[in-house]
Amino acid sequence: MALTEEQKKLIQNFISQPTFRQHGGLLTDLDGTIVLQRNGKFIIPLEVQTGLNKLYQRNCPIILNTIRFPLSIIKTFAAVLYPLAQKPIPVISLNGSQWGYISLGENQEYRFTEAGAQPLKQADIQSCLANIQLLVQQQVPDIAVFYYPRDWTKGEIIWTSVETQVGEIAQSYPSASHVYSSSLAILENHLKAEDISMIFLLVKKDHLAGTFLQRNFQDFYTSTGVNKLTGAHAFVNQLGRTLKQFIGAGDTPMDVFLQETGAVIKVGNLPLDFECSGPLLPIETVPEMGEVFTQIAEACTVTNPSYQL
């Protein structure tokens, strides 16, 4: 679907601002925003790749802001994105918990270099463990705990309380580096032995008892107050910039960084559940992002060397 003249004008008005040309860029979610799932595989549509390539050619900084962990980004998208960027790719990962750059090493393998992190505090881990213990006591079936060490090379680790489920979980989540079963005490020792960036508690909601639902069941655990907005602030401020100078792109209520970007590209029909301070450009599908990115690139008629991260 072609962009309307009104949508094009919104883009041009924002791009024409000197603050964007000198210090701005694109801050975008991955899944559901520039990534589609087709036949069980995650892909960046060719239309979007073309638009991203044009942005990179204009030296438009692009920062990824995703729930994914660094190793997942590397294994799934680095081979597509890095040849377009031809330079280290800035990434905010794990719901704002860790940020840095994906680059190509001397051995031609992609790697992540941390620039900052906000790992879980011991109190946050203890709160998560208390909820896991309650679930186990209530004999809730199919509990799985996904956790992500700050050491990005360890990837995704999954714990289950039922030993017989290890094989099934490993098959269902090939992205996991390790799946195991143990006592809660051993899980606690593992979680407290090193910095953990994020924990995800997977439980089928229809198996939860009413008393647990009344505790406002939480599935994602980061350090208190950490999310995609705080992670974006931390990284962008570290670069000497502000969110108001960026165009934000996302598709779900988890993309809270959209609240404060200078302009917003909203993909799909899922309500965001929050107000955005910048003008909103709604589009229906991921492939349409390619046209939006192309329009942004075409509006960037002046290229400034300082316009690079």
- Cβ-contact 235, 90 below 8 angstroms: yes
pLDDT digits (tens, 9 = 90+) for 205-262: 665 655 555 456 788 999 999 999 999 999 999 999 999 999 999 999 999 999 999 9
- CA–CA separation, 206 and 203 (whole Å): 9
- Cβ-contact 250, 268 below 8 angstroms: no
pLDDT digits (tens, 9 = 90+) for 131-157: 999 888 888 888 999 999 999 999 999
| Same domain as 246, residue 127 | no
Count of domains forming the chain: 2
| Same domain as 209, residue 168 | yes
Question: Phi and psi for 170 in degrees, rounded to 5?
Answer: -60, -35
Q: Is 197 helix (H, G, I), strand (E, B) or coil?
A: strand
Which segments of the chain does DSSP mark as H helices, in order? 5-15, 18-23, 46-57, 70-73, 79-85, 122-137, 166-172, 184-192, 210-213, 228-238, 288-299
| Same domain as 241, residue 114 | yes
| Same domain as 241, residue 151 | no
- What's the pLDDT score for residue 230? 98
| Same domain as 232, residue 212 | no
Average pLDDT of every residue of the chain: 91
Looking at 204, 221, 238, the residue that finishes a domain is: 221
Q: Using the predicted structure, report yes or no on whether residue 68 has a pLDDT greater than 80.
A: yes
| Same domain as 294, residue 169 | no
Q: Is the pTM of this model over 0.75?
A: yes
Q: Using the predicted structure, report yes or no on whether residue 171 has a pLDDT greater than 90.
A: yes
| Same domain as 127, residue 99 | no
- CA–CA separation, 258 and 253 (whole Å): 9
Q: Which of 38-52, 205-219, 248-262, 270-284 has the lowest mean pLDDT?
A: 205-219
Find the Cα–Cα–Cα–Cα dihedral 175, 225, 26, 248, rounded to 10°.
110
DSSP characters over 19-58: HHHHH-EEEE-SBTTTBEEETTEEE--HHHHHHHHHHHHT
Host domain of residue 282: 5-118+226-307
List the structure tokens of 282. 């709604």
Looking at 183, 199, 221, the residue that finishes a domain is: 221
DSSP designation for 227: S
Instruction: Give the CATH number for residue 288.
Output: 3.40.50.1000
